[in-house]
Amino acid sequence: MTRRLLPFFIAIAVIAVLTIPSWAKDNSSGALSARISLDSTTTINNTSTTLEPGEYRVVAEQNQAKFEKDGKVVAEVPCTLKTLPGKAAHTEFSIDQGRLLEIQVSGKTEAIEFSSGN
């Protein structure tokens, strides 16, 4: 009986190994996402885009960042993904004179930057 089941178990093991890449993604798409909470009306650096106070999910991919609030995209702006010297200890963002400049994401070595060059 066990000899008949051996090919079945080998087939299951092969299928499991072949599907590992699909469920163990390493964010190879280049997307970076974070959740931020704004306490006041904020402009995204060097754009005319203004965000009202509230919770946002930010997804940056290549040179574009999307801001989602309550599951809806409320803004899309240009950005760059900047390499940090090490992993960010926690998610934090930089605001200067009411302008959102950068978002560092916990555990990542890249930051979303909204620079004057965009």
- Distance CA(47)–CA(69), nearest Å, equals 19
Q: Which two tokens stand for residue 35?
A: 């959740």
For the ranges 10-14, 19-23, 43-47, 77-81, the lowest mean pLDDT is seen at 19-23
**Which tops the pLDDT comparison, 118 or 100?**
100
Give me the residue label for tokens 């931020």.
36
Q: Which two tokens stand for residue 23?
A: 């469920």
pLDDT at 42: 93
How large is the C-alpha radius of gyration of the chain?
Answer: 21
pLDDT at 24: 44
Average pLDDT along the chain: 83
Residues 6+ apart with CB under 8 A from 75: 44, 49, 51, 66, 67
pLDDT band at 118; cut points 50, 70, 90 = very low
Give the residue extent of every domain in the chain: 32-113
Q: Is the per-residue pLDDT at 5 higher than 90?
A: no
Q: Which two tokens stand for residue 24?
A: 């163990």
Contact (Cβ atoms closer than 8 angstroms) between residue 76 and residue 65: yes
Whole-structure pTM value: 0.71
- Distance CA(102)–CA(65), nearest Å, equals 11
pLDDT at 48: 86
- Distance CA(103)–CA(67), nearest Å, equals 12
pLDDT band at 17; cut points 50, 70, 90 = low
For the ranges 3-12, 16-25, 57-66, 74-83, the lowest mean pLDDT is seen at 16-25
Contact (Cβ atoms closer than 8 angstroms) between residue 31 and residue 59: yes
